[in-house]
Amino acid sequence: MPSETASRRSEFGYTHKKQSGGSGQFGRVEGYIEPIEDDNLGAGGFEFESHLVGSNIPPDFVPAIKKGFEEAIEKGPLAGYPVLGMRVVLKDGAAHAVDSNEIAFRLAAQGAFKQAMEKGAPQLLEPIMSVEVQVPVEFQGAAIGQIAQRKGTINASEGDDGDAQFVTIGADVPLDNMFGYSADLRGATQGKGEYAMEYLKHSPVLRDKQDEIIKRHAEALAAKKKAGD
């Protein structure tokens, strides 16, 4: 499944404030988000670090802040996919003697994460599969052509020394482009081609593909809203 991440460090300073008779809600959080440094952008998951100094935010509220960020990463700002490969660092904030509570700080964290993601150059990621294809030598060209059509990157080709009957082709291919590949491979190799694949990493999607995914997500939200009116 696709995921989302921010491509650069981004600061946040967000205040959740609500007043409606009696006690209200107040919580402010300050800090930054940043991509986890990893070749595999989607493998880093989520990390939360508290660098609080002093008592501007009482320590009892830190677990609620962490929970708020954990809830926020479930849906990214671009197309509603989970956010991966992010670190959140809490540096400071503010609390109110009466109006601060766990709910207020959870909501403050959610608002802060949305704020930071919008400024952090968000991007969509897609799973890339490591694919190994074995075909008779005479179908090597056809197999390589199919991988190229699916925007795969060939990184190995073995057994094509002139004496081998089969050749093994290694490639990295977006998972989204692998649907229907089994039937296509059989058709191109008279049923003699075989392949296996496993998850390799997450990588940024191409810009035109990202724009199309975001457009579909916006249309789906609009249709859902219209149906609820």
pTM, two decimals, is 0.82
Query: Which residue did the predictor score with more confidence, 21 or 147?
Result: 147
Q: Is the dihedral of CA 47, 18, 119, 11 positive or negative?
A: negative
Nearest to 173 by CA among 142, 151, 188, 202: 151
Looking at the domain 3-120, which fold is it? Ribosomal Protein S5; domain 2 (3.30.230)
pLDDT of 161 strictly over 60: no
Q: Tens digit of pLDDT for each residue in 25-62?
A: 999 999 999 998 765 555 557 899 999 998 899 999 99
pLDDT at 38 (0 to 100):
64
Residue 23 pLDDT level (bands cut at 50, 70, 90): confident
For the chain, give the DSSP string: --EEEESS-EEEEEEEEE--SSS-EEEEEEEEEEE---SSTTTS-EEEEE---SSSS-GGGHHHHHHHHHHHTTS-TTTSPPB-SEEEEEEEEE--TTT--HHHHHHHHHHHHHHHHHHS-EEEEEEEEEEEEEEEGGGHHHHHHHHHHTT-EEEEEES-SSS-SEEEEEEEEEGGG-TTHHHHHHHHTTT--EEEEEEEEEEEPPHHHHHHHHHHHHHHHHHHHHHH-
Q: In b/e form, how buried is each residue of 48-80, taking b as 16+ CB within 10 angstroms?
A: bebebeeeebeeebbebbbbbbbebbeebbbbe
pLDDT at 50 (0 to 100):
96
* Mean pLDDT computed over 198-205: 91
Q: What percent of the chain has pLDDT over 90?
A: 77
pLDDT at 211 (0 to 100):
93
Average pLDDT, the chain: 91
* Mean pLDDT computed over 123-132: 94
pLDDT at 73 (0 to 100):
94
Where in the chain are the domains? 3-120, 125-204
pLDDT of 83 strictly over 90: yes
pLDDT at 1 (0 to 100):
80
pLDDT of 102 strictly over 80: yes
Provide CATH code, domain 125-204.
3.30.70.240
Query: Which residue did the predictor score with more confidence, 228 or 109?
Result: 109
* Mean pLDDT computed over 65-72: 97
pLDDT at 2 (0 to 100):
86
